Amino acid sequence: MSSMSKPTTNQAQPYTYEDYLTWDGPERWELIDVVPYACARVLDRRSC
């Protein structure tokens, strides 16, 4: 599979851990049962 900065929704094949390792950028992702899920951002309570 090709390297990418984040997962795309139009991929025909399931994602692998190898794919997961190629995702970079500020987003955080979880790979659960070959499906990528974007993780929620943690709010900094000091900025409230």
The 3-state secondary structure of 10-22 reads CCCCCCCHHHHHH
- Counts of helices then strands in the chain (DSSP H, E): 1, 2
Q: Return the domain boundaries, the chain.
A: 1-48
Q: Which pLDDT value is given to residue 41?
A: 76
Report pLDDT digits (tens) over 1-48: 444 556 666 666 788 999 889 988 888 888 888 888 888 877 777 755
Q: Are 39 and 26 in contact (CB under 8 A)?
A: no
Q: Which pLDDT value is given to residue 25?
A: 80
Q: Which pLDDT value is given to residue 7?
A: 67
Q: Are 38 and 29 in contact (CB under 8 A)?
A: yes
Q: Which pLDDT value is given to residue 9?
A: 61
* pTM reported for the whole predicted model: 0.54
